[in-house]
Structure 1
């Protein structure tokens, strides 16, 4: 049986398990077990234990439960409600109004966490209940949160970018700088779609509130100051290099607790509920990460990603045709692999092809990160889909359909950076040129 057929069989096994109601992490692990037991000579039991251990023993991953806890504190102490009340008067005249806070929140938080899962889980915990309470369209909200969460790996710093920089032997600073403008571009595309959708569907958007005077807007925005300062502080110390993402997450939790206590909205009950909610969400995400890690090992042992990359290399394509084909290859890999694994398993074959075609490796890094973002919302292994499924109880396919318009925005962003590569390379060239 060819490796491509093996990949198709494993995908079918996974889809059957998921449709049968088997836990997501177990479905991923069982598909990996089938692949190793029947199509490789390795021992699946030994690899299962090592994959589960290695996927969760990470200092960087320690930031995940801490950031989720910070979101739980903001949600359960009603600080999130105060934040939305402070923002509402300023967004009253913009089509989509408070819906834009999902994109802005994901962009800001993504720059702090560097993780798609942490961004999606934290912003969803804060924004989803509040937007539903105010009557915003649930489908649009789910799509915005699923795809907005992917900004965590595009806006620096990003673990995925670091992995690519190491694999490509490229400058990490240049790749970080290259991610800013595409990140802002993608945020703008998401917000433009939200505005366009709101104009087309005025009956599905809550009625605008009465206009307030400038002074009243400032008074209502006073509740934004503590949480706003907390976010600015976290971003500042991270960008300045004074703390790691995990240390920033710990300071974020402490800051959220202090603000909640000062506002007298922190009680032992909501403190305990927030802690238990954090534990459930973190365990769910880490369990899925473990299952995905085991499936990734299976893909590595079978050699399916390398087979796909070598097949593309054998075609001897023109530069832009190569990019077009690689887009589809990475989209296919994204249905079964996490982003970091996609990069690691294909870089040895793909990067020489890219250099031969004359593309800048820094530009290609952002191109790949955008494709990894798309993989985060592509069934059946779209990680953000799983996060929202477990947080909302909605089927992952329902969330995937809600994310389709934002998915298309990502495709538009990929097209724009391909046609205008200066969007990616302009800022690092400018900054590094001045530094010299």
Structure 2
């Protein structure tokens, strides 16, 4: 059997397993075992080696810590204080409190690292308030569904940790690289809201009453806890005082202390946050283990190198390759979650990207943006599910409401491809000093 025939057979096996409802981790491992049977006389030994190597990494220890930090914030009053602290500063801008959705998602995402948690938390606070004040429900839902995706773009991010481990690049460098693209996405979202508000004045509620500067500052004091947590987590990594894993541990400790000081930490919240973090972390690590075995099997068969060589012979050029990968990842996003997309494709895509001359840190942010798009792409868009649950609306209605913000993400991908320094400049500047 040739390399192409083997690749198609493995793809068919994987698709059948996934379509049959087999767990993603098991489907990856089974496919890897079949490939290893063809390429190696000791598939079982390689399975044990891959599973242990994928889950026994010190670097990967940052993952459950960041997940737990987000779970703590999700279940305490800190997220509500975040929304209240931001609202005084945007109420007079066209679009009003809709901008708080974007800002709150960006800030909460920077301390939760999870798209679904960011979307659910901010939506739970914002939707009732926006509905009560007469804001357009569809625009509010669309902004929250896509604003939640900032949880995986603005560091620290669970998806970034997964990519950095899979691609063997610096977690801190990937974290820093996400800052400018994250701000760019927030700016594009807010710009659309301003344009929509100016074009649809009849859908706007009455202007909010003016507030004095002193009143704004007093209400914004509620931002201090989250601001301190963000500075503590990201700042310690940037200045080199802590690794990503150590900073994640500090983040958990800080979120517990803040929740305790604000009186919202209960024994029930603590157990629920720990249980939720354990469940999600185990799921992700199981997928990573299955993907690690498939990656090892792929290396034995030579399929990734052959595919990379084949793409090179197509003469697509760097931009052509990026265009093809964009289409592939968007299609994958209709059926898989972000973690699965990354671990399933890394072993095949990374050799192609390196051969095309792209920086792996830049490519990491590129993939994260595509995962953001996947989060709002039916039928398996996690944020669509969250908003469907929160609003009771049909999933396609939510997807339609998110479409303009979806296009903002596409514009961001184009800008980062044309101007890669938007991604690479900040980590190079901060980490080369």
Same fold at TM > 0.5: yes
Contact 1:105 1:123 in 2 (8 A): no
In the alignment, which of 362, 365, 379 is matched to residue 366 of structure 1? 362
How far apart are the structure 2 equivalents of 1:207 and 1:346?
51
Q: How far off its partner does 1:228 sit?
A: 1.9
Contact 2:291 2:343 in 1 (8 A): no
RMSD: 4.6
Contact 2:68 2:252 in 1 (8 A): yes
1:339 corresponds to: 342
How far apart are the structure 1 equivalents of 2:400 and 2:47?
32
How far apart are the structure 2 equivalents of 1:46 and 1:148?
38
Q: List per-residue Cα deviations over 1:293-351 (Å, max 9, x = no partner).
A: 4554555455444333221211234xxx4422343146536837643674554444543
Q: How far off its partner does 1:241 sit?
A: 1.0
1:247 corresponds to: 246
In the alignment, which of 2, 6, 12 is matched to residue 9 of structure 1? 12
How far apart are the structure 1 equivalents of 2:294 and 2:399?
21
TM-score (norm 2): 0.73
Contact 2:109 2:148 in 1 (8 A): no
- Verify: 1:146 aligned to 2:149, yes or no: yes
2:54 corresponds to: 55
- Verify: 1:274 aligned to 2:277, yes or no: no
How far apart are the structure 1 equivalents of 2:285 and 2:143?
27
| 1:32-431 map, 5 Å | 32-34=29-31, 36-37=33-34, 40-41=37-38, 42=40, 49-94=48-93, 95=95, 96-105=98-107, 108-109=110-111, 118-120=113-115, 122-124=117-119, 126-134=121-129, 135=131, 137-146=140-149, 148-152=151-155, 160=163, 180-196=179-195, 209-297=208-296, 299-317=298-316, 321-329=317-325, 331-332=327-328, 335=332, 338-339=341-342, 342-348=345-351, 350-354=353-357, 361-362=358-359, 365-367=361-363, 369-375=365-371, 377-378=373-374, 385=381, 405-424=404-423
How far apart are the structure 2 equivalents of 1:430 and 1:267?
42
Q: How far off its partner does 1:46 sit?
A: 5.3
Q: List per-residue Cα deviations over 1:178-211 (Å, max 9, x = no partner).
A: 6554443333234434544566677888876433
How far apart are the structure 1 equivalents of 2:36 and 2:225?
56
**Helix, strand or coil: the match of 1:413?**
helix
Contact 2:154 2:179 in 1 (8 A): no
Q: Which consecutive unaligned segments of at least 5 residues does structure 1 have?
A: 355-360
CA shift in 2, pair 1:177/1:281, >3 Å:
closer
CA shift in 2, pair 1:207/1:140, >3 Å:
farther
Contact 1:51 1:293 in 2 (8 A): yes
Aligned residues: 406
